């Protein structure tokens, strides 16, 4: 056992967390993660190159993050950074025009150079109908300087009320999952594909996802995490630009370019995993989620 446990009580409490999230049998012949007598050597994430963050034995697929094509996709409206700097309202007006009626909204948000700028731009953006039915913008939670970014789907009722992601039942399970690998919200930064609750918690439409994708991509660019943990099928499919189901995708890290230019200058590994809301309905899948969490743990400073 590692020396990280100070006492028998701490060890028992850690084991209880495992049991609570459904780990009730050994998953491999050799101990891994917190239970390894000697932690296996994993390449240390380096600040120099995101491609160096991938454990050596993982398949590495490099592709550029582009949102999936939708039948209704229309040519992008484009927005100039300088235009935004001079007149932020003009950008949101343009996005509003581009986004109304479920059209694709995409643009150069490079003039938004801080998370506060990005949040203000979203608050000023009236092009998404979800904003009208939502009570609050749900921007993010956790530590913006963390190496790990978690991206979920969309706020639910509790998140909408509180203006914070993952604070309802799924959020409580997420906290337990993080705790099971010795982490909490200070070790991660959490956001969603959509910052507003879809009525009735329905799945985001492709049009909504397309429309808000430039904001999410800018969010990723501004935080530049060392890894993205994609929670659930919607997030994994968007970030990996695929239609493959989450049960096939989970646990397989892929490196994605999140740069605007598509020149490989912002390569970030994306690790898809199961959504906590799904795990609440399918607790037998928690073992798979835990394996993913053990991969994620290696990226925690």
Burial 66-101, CB ≥16 within 10 A → b, else e: ebeeeeeeeeebebeeebbeeebeebbebbbebbee
Q: From the list 34, 91, 277, 291, which residue makes contact with ligand URA (rule: CB under 6 A)?
A: 277
Of 98, 127, 155, 269, the one binding ligand URA by CB under 6 A: 155
For the bound state, the minimum distance from the C-beta of residue 191 to ligand URA, rounded and expressed in Å, comes to 8
CB of 230 to ligand URA, least distance (A): 11
Q: Which is nearer to ligand URA, 117 or 158 (CB)?
A: 158
Surface-to-core class of residue 172, CB atoms within 10 Å of its CB (0-12 exposed, 13-18 middle, 19+ buried): middle
Task: Name the phi and psi angles at 278, rounded to 5.
Answer: -70, -40
Out of 105, 165, 214, 225, the only residue in the binding site for ligand URA (CB under 6 A) is: 165
Candidates 103, 192, 209, 221: give the one binding ligand URA (CB under 6 A).
192
Kindly tell me which residue out of 128, 130, 170, 178 binds ligand URA, with binding defined by CB under 6 A: 170
CB-based contacts of 40, cutoff 8 Å, min separation 6: 32
Q: Does 195 bind ligand URA (CB under 6 A)?
A: no
Compare residues 193 and 227 and give the one whose CB is closer to ligand URA: 193
Reference 137, options 117, 152, 123, 116; nearest CA is 123
Candidate residues 154, 181, 239, 267; the one interacting with ligand URA per rule CB under 6 A:
154
Nearer to ligand URA, 68 or 163 (CB): 163
**Measured distance CA(112)–CA(245) in Å, rounded:** 33
> Interface with ligand URA includes 204 (CB under 6 A)?
no
Closer residue to ligand URA in complex, CB, 54/238? 238
Distances (CA, A) of 140 to 48, 91, 205, 297: 26, 22, 21, 21
DSSP 178: H
Contact flags string 133-152 toward ligand URA, x per CB under 6 A: -------------------x
The residue whose Cβ lies closest to ligand URA is 152
In whole angstroms, give the CA distance from residue 283 to residue 248.
Answer: 18
**Using CB under 6 A as the criterion, which residues of the chain lie in contact with ligand URA when the complex forms?**
152-156, 159, 165-166, 170-171, 192, 277
């Amino acid at each position: 056992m590692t020396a990280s446990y100070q006492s028998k009580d701490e060890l028992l409490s850690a084991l209880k967390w495992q049991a609570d999230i459904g780990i009730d049998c050994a998953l491999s012949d050799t101990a891994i993660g917190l239970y390894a007598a000697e932690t296996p050597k994993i390449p240390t994430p380096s600040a120099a190159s995101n491609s160096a963050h991938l454990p050596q034995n993982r398949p590495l697929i490099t592709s550029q993050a582009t949102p999936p094509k939708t039948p209704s996709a229309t040519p992008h409206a484009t927005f100039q950074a300088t235009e935004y700097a001079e007149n932020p309202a003009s950008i949101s007006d343009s996005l509003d025009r581009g986004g109304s009626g479920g059209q694709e909204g995409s643009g150069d948000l490079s003039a938004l150079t801080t998370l506060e700028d990005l949040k203000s731009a979203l608050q000023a953006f009236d092009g998404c109908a979800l904003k009208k039915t939502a009570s609050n913008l749900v921007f993010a939670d956790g530590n913006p300087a963390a190496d790990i970014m978690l991206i979920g789907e969309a706020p639910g009722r509790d998140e909408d009320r509180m203006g914070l992601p993952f604070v309802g039942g799924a959020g409580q399970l997420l906290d337990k999952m993080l705790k099971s690998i010795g982490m909490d919200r200070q070790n991660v930064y959490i956001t969603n594909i959509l910052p507003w609750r879809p009525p009735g918690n329905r799945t985001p439409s492709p049009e909504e996802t397309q429309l808000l994708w430039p904001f999410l991509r800018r969010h990723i660019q501004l935080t530049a995490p060392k890894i993205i943990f994609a929670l659930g099928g919607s997030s994994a499919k968007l970030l990996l630009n695929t239609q493959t189901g989450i049960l096939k995708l989970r646990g397989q890290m892929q490196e994605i370019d999140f740069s605007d230019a598509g020149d490989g200058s912002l390569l970030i590994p994306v690790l898809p995993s199961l959504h906590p809301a799904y795990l609440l309905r399918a607790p037998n899948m928690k073992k798979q989620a835990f394996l993913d969490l053990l991969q994620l743990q290696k990226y925690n400073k």
